[in-house]
Structure 1
Amino acid sequence: MLALEWLRASTSSLLRSFHLKGHYQNQTCADTTKLRRAGSTLRFRGVEEGVKEYMAWLEDKEVMIKSSPISHAKKNSA
């Protein structure tokens, strides 16, 4: 839980004050023609949307781990 809170806080501050701003290419334009031709339907996301999705995914995993039978067995044996 602490790691998740730390990641959330540091990601949030990173997005607000990115220290490489002005020295870093903040957008790229990839040629996805071959990818699409091969059948890919992936939807690309911006950093902010991707981070939010990733954080939600981590929170779901954290809930799954906490509610797993193995997690309960470890708590009961301690």
Structure 2
Amino acid sequence: MTMHGAPQPPRSCLDRGTRSPINDTEVNAMRAAAWHRHGVAAIPVEDIIDPWLRQAITNEANRRWGRRNGENHHGR
């Protein structure tokens, strides 16, 4: 219980119970903002239709940051 006029507790993204899950519209808005403000394109690999381009992007991400957990290694 808080007193009337008392300051609100600090908000944090780690506080799981205060916000509903982000929906696809909000995620796409964040991706657009990242592109326009920082030149960063956040595209899910599964959304890339061209197999050559998808593999090239996957290879570069693996080179920079390592393989994803649960990534399909195609028998390797």
Q: TM-score, normalised by structure 1?
A: 0.22
Higher relative contact order (CA 8 A, sep 6+): 1
TM norm structure 2: 0.22
Q: Which one has a larger percent helix, Structure 1 or Structure 2?
A: 1
